[in-house]
Chain A
Amino acid sequence: MIEAQHLSKKFGTNVVLDDVSFTVQEGQRLVIIGRSGTGKSVLLKHLVGLMEPDQGEVLVNGEKLTGLDERELLRVRSRFGMLFQSAALFDSLSVAENVGFVLQRERKLSPKEVADRVAEALEMVELGGTQDKRPSDLSGGMRKRVGLACTIIYHPEIILYDEPTTGLDLVVSDSIDRLVLRVNEKLKATTIVVTHDMRSVRTIAQRVIMLYHGKVYADTTPEELFASQDPVIYKFVNGISDAKNNGF
C-alpha cells in the first residue's frame, strides 16, 4: 500500500504539488491524469523517493520515505519498478544486458538462468529475439516495451508508468496499454500510471486521480470521470482548450 500524505513541492516560486493526499491499495490500478505541467511526473518521482517533498510524507507499506538516506531508499525501491517516459535504457548496454541488469547485479542466478529470464521477459513484451540489439536500434514503441521488460523481470510489487504511450501512434499505444493490463494481471502488482491519454484511462484505470494546479481535483472511477459535467474535467477529457479564436 502506498500513501501520499499532504505532499507539497515548489520549484522556486512555482508550486507544483499543493497538499496532495491519496492512498493506493495493493494490486489496484490507479491512473493519474492532468494537463502538462500539473506535477504528474513529479508526484510519481516522490512516490519512489527520487524527489523529496517540501512538506508531507510518502509511506510504502507503512514505512516513511521522507528522511531515509539514498542507501536506505534503495532497499525500499527494490519493491518498485518504473517505466520512464523516455524508457531510460542504458545506451552502453545491449537489450539483453538492459533487461537482465538487476538479475546480473544481484548475482543470485547463473548466466544461463539470467539469459532464460531475459528471453522470457522479452517474449512477454512481444520482442523475442532482440537480445543483441542496442537501444539506439529500437523504435520508440520498442524502447518502451524493453523498458517494461527491464521492470517486470524482477517481479516488483509496485509498478509506476510515466506517460507510457506519449509519442506513440494509436496502434502501438493500444498494445502498450494492453501490456500494462497483462503485467498487472500476471504479477498482481500495484499499478500507477501517469498519462494524459484518455484511451489509456479507459483501458487501464480502476480508479482515476485528476491533478489541477498541483491539487487533487478529482478522485473517481473512469465511468464517473467520462460522465462528469464539471467544466474542468469535461474540457480536459474532451480536449477542449480555453484559447479564443482571435481571427487569424
Chain B
Amino acid sequence: MENRAGLEYWIRGLGRLTMLLMEVVKSLFTQRFNWDGFLQQLHFIGVKSQSVVLITGAFTGMVLCAQTYFQFHKVHMDSATLAVVSVSMCSELGPVLTALMVAGRVGASMAAELGTMKVTEQIDALRTLATHPVDYLVVPRILATLVAVPLLTIEAISIGIGAAYVVGVGLLDIDAAYSWSFVMKYTDAHEVYSGMIKALFFGLSIALVGCYKGLFCEGGAEGVGKATTEAVVYASITVLMSNFFLTLLLTRLFGS
C-alpha cells in the first residue's frame, strides 16, 4: 500500500514537472519576456557562483593531474597526464561538478525563494494581480540558468586544465611541450560539444527541479526546508544519472 502511494506520488510529480516545462515553452513563445528578472537571475547564477566554480574547477584539475601522474609515472607515460585531465574535464568532470555546485547553490535558492513566496501567499497575490507565476518567476530563472551553466562550465574546464598544467609542469616536472601536444591531439572538438550539451541539459534540470519544488511547496517553514533539501537532492541525482545516459548517447552521436 505504501509502495503504491509512493509510486503515485512520483508519477504525479513527473506529470506536474512535464506540465511546468510545457508551460515554460508556451510562455516563451506567447508572453512578454521579463528581462529585468532574467538579468537579475543571470547575475545571481553567473557572477555570484564565480568563487565556487573557480575553486571546484581548479582543485579538481589539480588533484586529477596529481593522481593520474602518480599512476602514469609507473609506466613512464608522464606526458599523457594532461591529455587525460583535459578529456576528463571537458566531457565529464567540468560539466558534472559545475552542475553539482550550481544545484547546491542555485537550485536550493530557487526552491527556498519560490517556496517562501508560496507559503506566504505571494504566489497567490501574483495570480490575483493577473500575472502568471511561470511568466514572471520561472521563465527568467530557467533561461538564466541555461545561459549561465554552460558559461560556468567552460570556465571550470579552462581553470581545471590551467591548474593541472601548473601542477604537472611546475610541480611534477612533466615535459610541457609533449604534454601540450598530447592535450591538443587527444582532446577532440566533440569532447567540448558533449560537455556543452550536458551543461545545457543539467542547467535545465536544476532550474526546473528548483522551481517545481518551490512552486508546489506546502506546509509553512517546514515545507520550505523540505522543498529546498529535495530540490538539491533530486537535481544532483538527475545530474549524476543523466550524465551516464548522455555519455552513451553523445558518444554514439559523435563517435568515441
Mark A residues whose CB is within 8 Å of B. 45, 48, 50, 70-71, 73-75, 77-78, 80-82, 84-86, 88-91, 101-102, 105, 107, 150
Contact = CB atoms under 8 A, between A and B. Distances in A.
Contact of B124 (A71, A84, A90): A84
B125 A74 contact: no
A50 B121 CA distance: 11
Contacts of A80: 128
A175 to B, nearest CB: 22
Contacts of A78: 130
A152 to B, nearest CB: 13
A50 B124 contact: yes
What DSSP secondary structure best describes chain B's contact surface? helix
Contacts of B127: 50, 70, 73-74, 77
Contacts, number: 52
22 contacts: A45-B124, A48-B128, A50-B127, A50-B128, A70-B132, A74-B127, A74-B132, A75-B130, A77-B128, A78-B130, A80-B128, A88-B124, A89-B122, A89-B125, A90-B117, A90-B126, A91-B122, A101-B129, A101-B131, A102-B130, A105-B129, A107-B32
Contacts of A91: 116, 122
B120 interface: yes
Interface of B: 32, 116-117, 120-122, 124-132, 136
Nearest to A75: B130
B131 A105 contact: yes
A50 B127 CA distance: 8
Contacts of B124: 45, 50, 84, 88
A82 B32 CA distance: 24
Contacts of B125: 82, 84, 88-90
Contact of A88 (B121, B130, B132): B121
B24 to A, nearest CB: 13
A117 B32 CA distance: 23
A86 B120 CA distance: 7
Contacts of A82: 125, 128
A81 B127 CA distance: 10
Contacts of A150: 129
B182 to A, nearest CB: 50
Given A82-B125, A84-B125, A88-B125, A74 B130 contact: yes
Nearest to A51: B124
Contacts of B130: 74-75, 77-78, 102
A78 B127 CA distance: 9
B122 A88 contact: yes
Nearest to A50: B124
Contacts of B120: 86, 88
Given A50-B127, A85-B121, 4 more contacts: A77-B130, A88-B121, A90-B126, A91-B116
A80 B125 CA distance: 11
A149 to B, nearest CB: 13
Contacts of B121: 84-86, 88
Contacts of A48: 128
Contacts of A81: 128
Contacts of A71: 132
Nearest to A90: B122
Contacts of A107: 32
A81 B32 CA distance: 22
Nearest to A92: B113
A189 B19 CA distance: 36
Contacts of B136: 105
Contacts of B32: 107
Nearest to B34: A105
A58 B256 CA distance: 61
A91 B125 CA distance: 12
A71 B126 CA distance: 13
A53 B132 CA distance: 21
A111 to B, nearest CB: 13
Contacts of A45: 124
> Closest 3 interchain pairs by CB?
A88-B125, A78-B130, A88-B121
Contacts of A74: 127, 130-132
Contacts of B132: 70-71, 74
Contacts of A70: 127, 132
A162 B32 CA distance: 31
A156 B32 CA distance: 23
B88 to A, nearest CB: 40
B9 to A, nearest CB: 16
